[in-house]
Every structure is written in C-alpha cells, then in structure tokens.
Chains A and B, each alone.
Chain A
Amino acid sequence: MKTFDYARADSVEAATRAGGRFIAGGTNLLDLMKLQVETPEKLVDISRLDLNTIEEREDGGLTIGALVPNSDLAADPRVIAKYEVLSRALLAGASGQLRNKATTGGNLLQRTRCYYFYDTAAGCNKRQPGSGCEAIGGFNRIHAILGTSDQCIATHPGDMPVAMRALDAVIVTQKADGDKRRVPIGDFYRLPGDTPHIENVLEAGELITHVELPAPTVGRHLYRKVRDRASYAFALFSVAAVVTVEDGIITAAALAFGGVAHLPWRNPAVEAALVGKAPSDETFNAAADALLDGATGFGTNDFKIPLARRTLIASLREVTQ
C-alpha cells in the first residue's frame, strides 16, 4: 500500500471537493491498495456522512443511502417485502462480516476478481492500460462470455448490482460543482471496449449519494447464483428475475445476469422473448437464445454458455410456476 493523505469529510459537498478517492466500507479498495492495484494519493473518508438511511418515497419506491451497509439493506423489512430479489442477491454475496462493512455505493463500484487484474506481475489493460490481457490465452474460468473486447474479458463480480439492474435502479450522484444527477443503472456501467480501466460514467469527484428503487411491481422475484462453494464464493453465473404471469401469459419480465459480462448484464431481447408468451420450455429456450446470442468462450470459461442456458431455463420455470 502506497501512503496517502487521509481526510474525513463532514459533508457531501466537502467530500466531492476534497479531490481524492472516496472510502466508505473499504472492503474492496483496501484489498486492492494492499496489492498496489489501486494507488490513490488521497483518501476521503465518507463513512460518517449522513447517507445511511432507507426512505420510502411518495411514488412507492425506496431511496437507499449510499452508505447503507449490505447487511442492513438485505434485512430491511421493506426490501424483503417488496424487493425480495435484492435481499436475496445481497445475502448470496460475500460473508456476514463483509456485508456488515460493504456499502450500497461501494458495492456498485466493486472491481473485477480477474486473477490477472489482481496480480501486478501480469499484463492487464484494466489495471495498466496498454499492458495486454493475460486472461485471454490464460486461465479464464471466471471470465466473461458477453460484451467482451480484445482488450479485456473481466466480469463484474457483484450480486447486488445484478438485482438492481433487474429492478431498474437509479444511481443518484453529486458532483464537485454541486450538480446532482440521476443515472439509470443501465447507463451507469461501461463495456470494456478499448478502455477497460474506465468502468462507469462517474466523473472525478462525483459521489454516489443514493440509489433509488422504482415503485415495486407485482411479479415474482428470484435470485439464483451458481458458484463453486456453497457460500463465500463469487458467481460463475447468476440471474436476477422479476416476472409476472397473468392468466397463463407472461405479462412482465425483468432479468439481469451476473458472472457473464463486464457489467451486470441485461438484454431487452431476453425479456421480449418472454413477454406475451405462455411459460413453456420453448419460450424459455428462446429467451436463452436471446441471452446467448453472440456469446463467446475463451477456453476455460466455455462452460458458462451451457451453464447460463440451463440455469436461465430452470430459473424461468421456477419463477413462472
């Protein structure tokens, strides 16, 4: 860990103007700083800011403070009652200790678990632009099959953001000049392309202050995570689904996927293949076709293609029962 200046911010405004990297839970940032994958010159401690409440809005949605820990968010009765997919996703991630520290805002910004990103002896365009991608041609069991580029095949490792993507969450930020903006989660993340080191649309000094969940829908919720251990392991593949069936017809479907792309993946074609159709294996296969259209394996992660198909179909069966 390189040394850094440390400052504790006492307001959002002060934080955004402090000119440093924000630290709240620190569970991912410090992990990476110890390895010098991250080397910020200044840390701005935002952990004491008043951003740790969950409020109901008049439109029926929830506004979640960026500092609400994962544990508290998962256990919130309103989240459990109306956004079960989010609770389930949170509880499927990390460990009790990590969830107690990791925050809502920080978890959105969790960086990839790519082995080569973590090892400073390896070439990695995300860590050091222009140094190559050793995951391509290397061991890439945990890597992406969708939306990859020849510069980077890393995945976003999170669970919570996958559920939020299915829920159409909106990320609320504040910039150094005081401007606030509301970024739909679908517009928040970037594909790797030629700039895998740029992972989202945040500008320097821009702080996530809240996450808004739209008013809940009536559908059934499901979060299914496939992993190598029964607990405390990152997703090989995950699916977050909110699906409504009325009179034997799927009337609404929102599906997002983890472990397959540089960002929590969502593809309208998957939902289009479902909505208006009766739940059937034919329908589910069509949805899987839509999801995996253009999917590419890189050797050791080839299995993710059949794994995603099978898991999606089984998940759709369950959620439309």
Chain B
Amino acid sequence: MHFTINGQSHEAEVDVRTSLLDLCREHLGLTGSKKGCDHGQCGACTMLVDGRRINSCLTLAVMHQDDEIVTIEGLGTPENLHPLQSAFVRHDGYQCGYCTPGQICSAVGMLDEVKKGWPSHASADLTGASLDNAEISERMSGNICRCAAYPNIVDAIREVADASAKVDA
C-alpha cells in the first residue's frame, strides 16, 4: 500500500485491520502520534487528514491511500518548531507530553475550523464565533490531558490565534 505522510511517500505492507495510527507507529517509525485509548475517547492520536483533524486510531490505514496525512512530525522539528509547538513550550501546555502531539495537531485543525467560521457548542451565535477561552476549551475537549495542562493549553492556543489574527488584519 502507498501512503503520503508529511509530504513523503511511504510503501508499507499492512494488514487490512491496521489503523492509521498503528501504521504510523508500528510500521513507519512515526511514533509521535500516541495511543491513549485506541477508541476515540482521548484524542492523543489526532492527525490531520486532508487538513482535517481526526482520531487516527478509529480509521483504517487502507482507507487513506489517497490522502494527505500530516502527523506531529510533519508540523515542526525540535530545531524548527511550528508556532503552536513553541507556544506549547512557552506556556507549559503539557507535562508528561503524551497527549501533546495530539493536542497540537488538534489545535492546528481547530484553528482552521475557526477560520472557516465553524461554530461550536460554546457559540451563543452560530453564525459568528469569536475565539474566547470558553470556545477554545470546548473545541479542544476532544483531547484529554490527565496532567491537566488545560489552562496553559488555552493560553498557548490563544497566543497563536491572536498573533495570526493580527497578521490577517
């Protein structure tokens, strides 16, 4: 099977049962995406598929042979971090670090959803959401952090969102 992950082509012989997450972790050496529950209940496995954030544990690798997949490794490296990655470091938006790649991939996807004008459960008005703390918290609630860096995660995302809003303006 053929996959495009972080802009690179990969060939892998995998079982039809292999999840997109296990493809990356067990076959391609991309262990940045984490397995916390394997059932879509924690968000540690979050990746971007064709730009959308999804739980990679709940989808089959075989179904993604034509897709553009981005994992945490594709966002930045320790030497050249993505703005959200460096904001997470600055704001201590993690502790043990296990949910962190999923949080950051989720945040990338989430900010894109906001840009598209998508509302959330926290939006009083479904037609025009402003990204206040309650909005960030609600939109990031699919990513559990047991260490509970939530307030710092919100601060990190807010900083990047605000900076990006300034650039757009």
- Chain A residues proximal to chain B, CB less than 8 Å: 1, 3-6, 8, 23, 25-27, 30-31, 34, 43, 45, 47, 71, 74-75, 77, 80-81, 84, 87-88, 91-92, 94-98, 100-101, 229-232
Contact = CB atoms under 8 A, between A and B. Distances in A.
Given A26-B59, A30-B58, A95-B141, A75 B116 contact: yes
Contacts, number: 107
A98 to B, nearest CB: 6
A150 B15 CA distance: 41
Interface in B110-148: 110, 113, 116-121, 123, 126-127, 137-144
B55 interface: yes
Contact of B118 (A25, A47, A75): A75
Contact of A3 (B15, B126, B140): B15
Contact of B141 (A45, A101, A231): A231
Contact of B43 (A26, A84, A95): A95
Given A26-B63, A92-B121, 15 more contacts: A3-B17, A8-B63, A26-B59, A27-B58, A71-B52, A74-B118, A80-B127, A91-B119, A91-B121, A96-B120, A97-B54, A97-B142, A100-B54, A231-B141, A232-B142
Residue of A74, A95, A100 with most chain B CB atoms under a 10 A cut-off: A95
A23 B58 CA distance: 11
Contacts of B144: 232
Interface in B44-86: 46, 52-55, 58-60, 62-63
Interface residues of B, number: 39
Interface in B1-51: 15-17, 19, 38-40, 43, 46
A77 B118 CA distance: 9
Nearest to A89: B121
Indicate the member of B55, B106, B109, B139 with the most A CB atoms within 10 Å. B55
8 contacts: A3-B15, A6-B16, A26-B58, A30-B19, A75-B118, A96-B142, A97-B106, A231-B121
Nearest to B55: A97
Given A71-B118, A87-B126, A98 B40 contact: yes
B6 to A, nearest CB: 19
Given A34-B38, A74-B118, A75-B119, A231 B16 contact: no
Contacts of A43: 16, 60
Contacts of B139: 96
Which of B40, B116, B120 has most chain A Cβ within 10 Å? Answer: B40
Contacts of A75: 113, 116-119
Contact of A97 (B43, B121, B137): B43
Nearest to A77: B127
Nearest to B37: A31
A305 B75 CA distance: 49
